[in-house]
Amino acid sequence: MQRLAEAQRYYAEGMAFCERRELRFNTRCLRGAQADTLLLLGQWDEAAYLCEEVLAIPGVSPSNQLYPTRVLATILGRRGDPDARNLLDRALALAGGIDVPAWVAQARAVRAEVLWLAGKPDRAAAEARAAYDQVAGLIDPWRAGSLAIWLSRLQAQTEFPGGLPEPYALEIAGDRQGAAQAWERLGRPYDAALVWVMSSDEAGLRSAVKTLDDLGARATAAVARRRMKDLGMTAIPRGPRRATRADPAGLTAREREVLALLTEGLPDREISQRLFISERTVHHHVSAILAKIGVSSRTAAAREAVRMGISA
């Protein structure tokens, strides 16, 4: 239903329930699905953390590997990391082996996007076409839309059956402003930015580049900048320098949020409730924070946060 922010509370409650009862398979399923939601919300560092946590479990089942593999591949592909290709191959193999049409659609939609980012539009269109023809009648409208939109963007198909979700339908109809606003209402910043990347709208492209830089989507931002250059636009933003992209203490965005709540003296359970993540994930974040800023206690971390100007 794309009520993504609301879903976060249920993921936290579900994982807490499963962890207390040592329902490992269910916990891993929830982590993978939550990572997918975090991906859509633009919380990529947290999504990648959950994916790596699940994939590091010895003997984790193929079904539990699928979501984390695809989500991590998506993030790496948008950031221009060459490791994305192997992960995407693995995600498609897992989806095909389990033979769930929705999972095949998701894997192929990401492969189409990454091929487009690599400057291979014909192969991207073929990827989307292969999946759309195979599973379009077997999947929900959101997943069908994720394939249809690439066929539309790459001019591989112009007519689609009704029933596509609003953001996809609006973009296919040529209403980029309406499509971007629809994605923003859903809390999906990357999708809102992507609407403008293939446009000729200068204001839209500049807005998209800023969002993509903020997300660290270097590969997609590079495509947007090339588009601006090809259109003859001037004063194209160069993007963040390496020194300004990195947090001085090496903290991720989520770790900064956890550190800010440590200044209030909150225990892990209350932090998990505030951020809609599991207590175990909070514990991992706290351990990482202590190691990165070189302290041995939560109290010392809170003092260091104040010195760094981090507060709730």
3-state secondary structure 230-282: HCCCCCCCCCCCHHHHCCCCCCCHHHHHHHHHHCCCCCHHHHHHHHCCCHHHH
Sign of CA dihedral 263, 269, 270, 274: positive
Mean pLDDT of the chain: 91
Sign of CA dihedral 162, 184, 154, 229: positive
Domain holding 18, by residue range, is 4-179
Tokens 């989520």 sit on residue: 254
164 and 64, same domain (yes or no) = yes
Distance CA 188, CA 2 (A): 9
Using one digit for the tens of pLDDT, what is the confidence trace for 123-182? 999 999 999 998 988 999 999 999 999 999 999 998 898 899 999 999 999 999 999 999
Distance CA 19, CA 100 (A): 27
Mean pLDDT, to the nearest integer, of 264-293?
A: 86
- pLDDT on residue 155: 95
CB 172 within 8 A of CB 191: no
Q: What are phi and psi of 282, to 5 degrees?
A: -60, -45
- pLDDT on residue 243: 41
172 and 187, same domain (yes or no) = no
46 and 162, same domain (yes or no) = yes
- pLDDT on residue 292: 84
- pLDDT on residue 244: 42
Please report whether residue 312 resides in a domain. no
* pTM for the model: 0.81
242 and 258, same domain (yes or no) = no
- Label residue 306 by pLDDT band (50, 70, 90): confident
**Structural domain count, the chain:** 3
